[in-house]
Chains A and B, each alone.
Chain A
Amino acid sequence: MTVLIDLILLAMLVITAFRIIYIKDLFSVVMLFGIYSFLCAALFVTLDAVDVAFTEASVGAGISTVLMLSTIAITGRKEKLSLHSHTFATLIVLLTGGALIYGTFDMPLFGLADNPVHEHVAPRYIETSPTEIGLPNMVTSVLASYRGFDTFGETVVVFAAAIGVFSLLGVRGKPTELLAQEQGLTQHKVLRVVAKISIPLIILFALYVQFHGDFGPGGGFQAGVIAAAAFILYALTFSLRKAVGVVSPRFVKYLAPVGVLLYASVGLVSMLNGANFLDYNVLAADPVDGQHYGIIIIELGVGITVFSVMLGIFYAFAGQVEKANVQ
């Protein structure tokens, strides 16, 4: 049964990918990318990777669609005609693809019990995490505690991406005179009312994902993206000017490093208590309690950084669109 569902989803995924290659209208490409991401997340769900599906849902289908749309609002909707021949490039792609497929023949079969991935650290995590950490969602235990270093690295990468975008596009501290004319989607009155109702619901759900991530799917990363999506929805319906009035770009700029520092400070506190960096056992008298405190704080740090980075990148892109539109 699940095999049949997987096959149908994969077939749709491949068809969508080919259609994306052949479409020249970039707006349609963005729309189909949305579908592509929906399909990916559905596949992750059937593979039981709930947390990954969560991330794909919020980032792939939500934020990247918004960012890509704001990009083509500046650059134009038509793909440039390429004049040179594709033969050599096609040859290289086919060769590389062939080599990769040939390589997969050496890989163990999908889902075998004695695959290397099931033999090293995974059994240890599965056996000891209920007693060592005691969280119902094992993904959170692995992500935040066993692999705390990796997650810290990811948070820093997200922060570094924000620095890159800010230094390329710039985030203005105050809205300029030009922005004052912008009113948002004034013609869509029903939409404005419904957006007003749904924004608090989205923020509430983001908080639920943030603090319920230890028990169910989700965590800081997904929560940050969903909370940022709520503010982006506000900016889209009621104008960028008003959104900037609620959460100013300057605030976002200062908030982004706060999350990273919060994460790192947990590591420092555990070092001060005589343990290794990011070893949460020493944060409380009982090691299991210490793990819980550590995980909640670092998830909060991840959430804060991801929220401010996503919102900051949106501000940077939307600011460019406004500029291009007014001129």
Chain B
Amino acid sequence: MSALDYLSAALLLLGFIFSLSGAIGLFRFPDFFTRIHASSVTDSSGAVCIILGLALQTNFDLVTVKLLFILFFLLLTGPTGSHALAKSARHGGLLTIPECQEKAKDGVS
């Protein structure tokens, strides 16, 4: 294995770790807004690492360009989608944990 291969393997591993932590965060975080934070940040960083890792495997031709196009498009649409979804959830009346506690307190007093 050449140096490029080692670098690519490292990037793929890093991408996997990012993705896995995001997936775990999807279950472990307490409210929707923290969960969307976990998923959106790791989606982008995982995609960057994995696609760059794959790009190092190519012969740097049309395939590399296609990979970079996928990366560009994922980086453009992923965060946008998460942002719009969070906004939509906010308008739909979803509350963060502190707001829920506040509301509960108000209800008691």
Q: Which residues of A are in contact with B by a Cβ distance under 8 Å?
A: 185, 187-188, 190-191, 194, 197-198, 201
Contacts and interface: CB of A to CB of B under 8 A. Distances in A.
B91 A191 contact: no
B27 interface: no
B84 A188 contact: yes
Given A190-B83, A194-B76, 5 more contacts: A188-B87, A188-B88, A194-B80, A198-B77, A201-B73
Interface string B80-106: 100110011001000000000000000
Interface in B27-73: 73
B87 A194 contact: no
Contacts of A197: 76
A195 to B, nearest CB: 8
Contacts, number: 20
Q: Is the interface of A mostly helix, strand, loop or mixed?
A: helix
Interface residues of B, number: 9
Nearest to A185: B84
B1 to A, nearest CB: 19
Contact of B84 (A191, A198, A201): A191
B83 A198 contact: no
B80 A190 contact: yes
A194 B73 contact: no
B87 A198 contact: no
A142 B5 CA distance: 39
A188 B91 CA distance: 11
Contacts of B88: 188
Contacts of A191: 80, 83-84
A190 B84 contact: yes
A191 B88 CA distance: 12
Contacts of B80: 190-191, 194
